């Protein structure tokens, strides 16, 4: 556990963000290796099937993840205020809620996989592999929620290193199982999905055993767990707007996917490969934002709002420097990066075109996420939700649909920076109002200099 309420802001945020970044790099690594193996050994149809599955997965889990993020902010603020009893109640409440939610989502999602793919107009030649992959992936939601909830709780307590170790184990295990199930057992795309489920389950069980023995605030003595309605409603107040935001963003991604799907297998496969690289490239911005949110939550709980602005400026500078480096690498090596996933020249051309357009605007994404990190950490999530939905549903989706009719798939790619630009402008204007400073869920303790 680490307090972020004293000391140099930049150093604290950097040291806290790095383990999260490394952990997510490992997570993206096994997603990328998974996709590379699928694309090179199972073909572009399987690559397209995996790519088409992820917007659906995120749509199904996004509301729950949003509520859980609210719980993380509540934990951070209680921890910053020194109220450890409430921290434990919040942890127990989160686990109970997410266990029930994961069971419900699994039971609802698996029977609907075929209908969902038809709704987004997935080409028929991709349907069998896509439905197989998605159904198996959804069967592992309990482990997925369990592991990610544990990691989020630890980050709320200021511990970003322990989740990294668990994630490294999961990543290496997943890569090994991918090779075994696909190349040796010849299970096809089902092997890729089974490998992911098994590795996530193993990581969660490892975390349970370790934390039960070594952590003061987190234990898995289930008979002692109690659901705290007050804390749940606090988490819901903060997390529901974020959850609704994630849900509508995920629905928006499905809408974008439906537009992409009309262009056929090559564009779907190129988009899937490019999105893997894009997801890796924006990780620094996202993880610095997550670190900043915890930093802001703890400092507001500790009665230190003076540190928030300094933390934002320091994080913007660090994250922007990293984003510039990433942008240059992606632009100069775009063909080689897409070429890792497939040898099909048309798929490579399409994916590289996406990377060239989108990566040129990573600084917009970086700045937008940093401001949103401050707002989330302060417990203000309603206005940011409307800003995100506006940039997606009012700007990006109509832009993608309209310009894809005249520019082809290129018009879809240009819709991404258009949405980021509007999101950044609106978030910055709201930040300047200062209304987010009044949204804390706990009474700040008296700050010690």
SS (H, E, C) the chain: CCCCCCCCHHHHHHHHHHHHHHHHHHHHHHHHHHHHHHHHHCCHHHHHHHHHHHHHHHHHHHHHHHHHHHHHHHHHHHHHCCCHHHHHHHHHHHHHHHHHHHHHHHHHHHHHHHHHHHHCCCCCCCHHHHHHHHHHHHCCHHHHHHHHHHHHHHHHCCCCCHHHHHHHHHHHHHHHHHHHHHHHCCCCHHHHHHHHHHHHHHHHHHHHHHHHHHCCCCCCCHHHCCCCHHHHHHHHHHHHHHHHHHHHHHHHHHHHHHHHHCCCHHHHHHHHHHHHHHHHHCHHHHHHHHHHHHHHHHHHHCCCCHHHHHHHHHHHHHHHHHHHHHHHHHHHCHHHHHHCCCCCHHHHHHHHHHHHHHHCCHHHHHHHHHHHHHHHHCCCCHHHHHHHHHHHHHHHHHHHHHHHHHHCHHHHHHHHHHHHHHHHHHHHHHHHHCHHHHCCCCCCCCCCC
Would you state the pLDDT for residue 235?
Answer: 86
Nearest by Cα to 117 from 59, 63, 66: 59
- Position 163 scores a pLDDT of 78
* pLDDT on residue 445: 56
Q: 16 near 294, Cβ under 8 Å?
A: yes
Intervals of the chain under pLDDT 50: 447, 449
- The per-residue pLDDT for range 353-384, each reduced to its tens digit, is 999 999 999 999 999 999 998 988 888 878 88
For residue 234, the model assigns a pLDDT of 86
Other CB atoms within a 10 A radius of the CB of residue 395 amount to 17
Return the pLDDT at 326: 94
Residue 1: per-residue pLDDT: 52
What pTM, to 2 d.p., does this model score?
0.80
Q: Can you give the pLDDT at residue 18?
A: 87
Structure confidence by residue, pLDDT tens digits, 118-176: 989 899 999 999 999 999 999 999 998 888 888 777 776 777 778 778 878 888 888 89
**pLDDT value at residue 63:** 79
């Amino acid at each position: 556990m680490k307090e972020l309420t004293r000391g140099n802001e930049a150093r604290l945020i950097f040291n806290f963000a790095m383990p999260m970044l490394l952990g997510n790099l490992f997570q993206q690594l096994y997603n990328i290796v998974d996709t590379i193996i699928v694309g090179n050994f199972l073909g572009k149809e399987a690559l397209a099937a995996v790519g088409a599955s992820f917007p659906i997965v995120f749509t199904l889990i996004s509301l729950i993840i949003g509520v859980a993020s609210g719980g993380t902010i509540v934990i951070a603020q209680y921890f910053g205020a020194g109220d450890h009893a409430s921290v434990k109640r919040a942890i127990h409440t989160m686990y109970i809620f997410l266990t029930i939610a994961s069971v419900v989502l699994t039971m609802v999602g698996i029977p609907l996989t075929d209908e969902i793919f038809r709704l987004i107009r997935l080409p028929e030649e991709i349907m069998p592999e896509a439905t197989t992959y998605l159904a198996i992936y959804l069967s592992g939601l309990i482990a997925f929620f369990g592991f990610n909830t544990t990691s989020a709780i630890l980050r709320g307590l200021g511990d970003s290193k322990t989740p990294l170790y668990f994630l490294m184990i999961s990543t290496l295990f997943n890569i090994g199982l991918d090779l075994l199930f696909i190349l040796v057992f010849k299970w096809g795309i089902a092997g890729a999905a089974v490998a992911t489920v098994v590795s996530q389950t193993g990581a969660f069980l490892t975390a349970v055993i370790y934390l039960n023995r070594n952590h003061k605030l987190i234990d898995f003595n289930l008979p002692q767990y109690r659901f705290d309605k007050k804390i749940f409603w606090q988490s819901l107040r903060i997390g529901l707007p974020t959850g609704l935001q994630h849900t509508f963003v995920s629905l928006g991604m499905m809408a974008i996917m439906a537009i992409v799907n009309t262009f056929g297998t090559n564009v779907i496969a190129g988009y899937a490969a490019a999105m893997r690289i894009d997801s890796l490239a924006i990780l620094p911005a996202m993880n610095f934002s997550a670190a900043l949110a915890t930093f802001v939550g703890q400092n507001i709980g500790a009665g230190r709002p003076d540190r928030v602005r300094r933390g934002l400026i320091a994080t913007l500078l660090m994250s922007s420097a990293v984003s510039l480096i990433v942008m240059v690498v992606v632009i100069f090596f775009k063909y080689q990066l897409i070429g890792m996933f497939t040898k099909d020249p048309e798929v490579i051309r399409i994916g590289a075109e996406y990377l060239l357009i989108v990566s040129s605007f990573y600084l917009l994404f970086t700045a937008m996420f940093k401001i949103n990190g401050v707002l989330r950490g302060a417990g203000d999530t309603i206005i940011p939700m409307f800003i995100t939905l506006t940039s997606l549903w009012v700007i990006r989706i109509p832009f993608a649909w309209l310009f894809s009719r005249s520019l082809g798939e290129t018009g879809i790619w240009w819709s991404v920076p258009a949405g980021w630009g509007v999101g950044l402008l609106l978030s910055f204007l709201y930040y300047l109002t200062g209304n987010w400073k009044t949204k804390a869920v706990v009474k700040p303790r008296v700050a010690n200099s």
